[in-house]
Amino acid sequence: MPRYTVHIRDEWLAVPCRDPTYTIQWLGYEALKRYTKNKPDNGGINAVKDIRFVARRCQGQGLLDGDDTIEDVLEDNDFVEIVHKQHALSSLQNLFLDGNSLTSTDLVNLGRVVYGITTGFGKFARTVIPVHKLKELQENLVRSHSAGVGNPLSPERTRMLLALRINVLAKGYSGISLETLHRMIQAFNASCLSFVPEKGTVGASGDLAPLSHLALGLMGEGKMWSPKSGWADAKYVSHITGLALINGTQMITSLGAEAVERAQAIARQADIIAAITLEVLKGTSKAFDSDIHALRPHPGQIEVAMRFRALLDSDHHPSEIAESHRFCDRVQDAYTMRCCPQVHGIVNDTIDFTQKIINTEINSATDNPVSFTALDFLAIGVHELAAISERRIERLCNPSLSELPAFLVNEGGLNSGFMIAHCTAASLVSENKVLCHPSSVDSLSTSAATEDHVSMGGWAARKALRVVEHVEQVLAIELLAACQGIEFLRPLRTTTPLEKVYDLVRSVVKPWIKDRFMSPDIEAVHRLLLDQKVWNVAQPYIEKYNMELLPESRPISPTAFSLDPPASPRKRIRLE
């Protein structure tokens, strides 16, 4: 019998399904019944049948329509999250696009949230088209360029793509009519989204194939998705044409923005996870001394060392675990622990570098190619977080290195513990090594040698996202393993902020007493990292430590000393 794991608040519930033709709405209510069953006050839910909820996949956060059948949208052992509808909508806000001030953070939140006008294209650029055939030219362009293949982008990523296209067209340099732009905004605000295959762009004159599919749906052809209809025939939605809709790099940029934001989130949480592992392996915090890192003052390295001190400093947060081995005879720790500031630090610098490029690209009139080597750089950089994490997982699981039970479980042999979880981490790291091959070195000539040096930025963006996801999963496994290691050091306690992180993990995953189905545990902790809950728990302690060290430092407004005249008001476009 198929079964699905449903996340409600801080609990994971297994829900068997006898009939796959049942709807997502049935699955949600069935999970809510199980959630309230063993709660003394029904979990604060008075009547399950009166609850209005939103269902979404845990992986990728794709929204699920309540009327869809389970067999059509889920697979056996899929993970689903149920959120109160009012809570899901409370975080939404209006965003104004002016073509100049959109950031990668804004764009990711939205996902939850004259050439070619009278001539041919590419090889046919010198062929003049009669005026009476211009409409046919524009329609033919969109249809012929809609040649992508593969699975569609998720609705969230398609919303990002459409929002970014609107932002670029709002600059007024692409030859689009105001009427067409307004209709695109209407489509966005209604979440009427085209079927956009993820494969098919070489990053030449932008993402021609993906953006053509985006335009095709807006023309009323192909497929479109909306919250009410799901995937349906696009002719019932809209009808828009034109080159201005397809000539740009918005798919590369929107996926790149998501990769950057997720990389930034996992990078700072990697510091917290590594600090717990160092505690469990009875390492020393002396390697993070500020005087040491001042001798090589790379910004990321300085920042990471400060975070480790904030989490491990014995004067601020005494650790019984650290005190238990203060006078041991170990000279120094392995690189994977003592060199975290150097390794994690350069990853942070790489992410910052890439984010600046993405934010510039977001607010540029990108109707022709730009080389996206930065996304190759991002993938290579962020991969290091997984590579060093996998080595720390090995140290946690290896009794000769950890002084803990083999694979972090009692009765080894009868129980395998974290043996295969470590193998999973190793396989993800190995896969990342292949994905980190730079796509930008694979330029191929296209369009009859008119576009004879292309960026391959679409693949760079897609594989960067895959690398980031693998990094998240590897670090989720390390966090699980580190918290399991703490179980064998009890009753000793670690520092206050790290105990708070331990409590957070234990709110969704129980200690490993004997072997059990492990995938839900990994997915639950992965969800914590995606939601940045690990960072949210530790951040106040890090900020307090930093402010106590530098009481005189206060944030200064970047405009405080500006001598530039105020910018002239620009027309802004409102997205809901």
* Cis status, amide bond into 491, omega within 30 of 0: yes
Among the listed residues 102, 107, 99, 368, the one whose alpha carbon sits nearest the alpha carbon of residue 243: 368
Coil, strand or helix: which one is 318?
coil
Quickly count: other Cβ atoms within 10 Å of residue 400's Cβ: 7
Q: Quick check: is 545 catalytic?
A: no
How far lies 4's CA from each of 20, 183, 544, in Å? 11, 39, 42
Quickly count: other Cβ atoms within 10 Å of residue 487's Cβ: 18
The amino acid occupying position 242 is G
Whether 483 and 508 have beta carbons less than 8 Å apart is answered as: no
How far lies 151's CA from each of 200, 233, 241, in Å? 11, 17, 24
Residue 368: DSSP 8-state: S
Strand intervals (E) in 331-474:
none
Coil, strand or helix: which one is 32?
helix
Whether 209 and 200 have beta carbons less than 8 Å apart is answered as: yes
Quickly count: other Cβ atoms within 10 Å of residue 413's Cβ: 7
Cross-strand pairs, 16: 3
Dist CA 473 CA 421 (whole Å): 10
Query: Which is catalytic among the residues 4, 115, 335, 541?
Result: 115
Exposure string of 560-576, with b = 16+ CB inside 10 Å and e = fewer, is eeeeeeeeeeeeebebe
Dist CA 229 CA 233 (whole Å): 10
CA 447 to chain centre: 34
| Three-point CA angle 61, 67, 69, nearest 5° | 80
Dist CA 140 CA 142 (whole Å): 6
For 131-188, give the secondary structure using H, E and C: HHHHHHHHHHHHHHHCCCEEEECCHHHHHHHHHHHHHHHCCCCCCCCHHHHHHHHHHH
Q: Which helix (H) or strand (E) holds 488?
A: none
For 238-276, give the secondary structure using H, E and C: CCCCCHHHCCECHHHHHHHHHHHHHHHHHHHHHHHHHHH
Dist CA 495 CA 318 (whole Å): 6
Dist CA 21 CA 444 (whole Å): 47
Dist CA 156 CA 196 (whole Å): 12
| Contacts (Cβ under 8 Å, ≥6 apart) of 92 | 113, 576
Q: Cite the active site residues.
A: 115
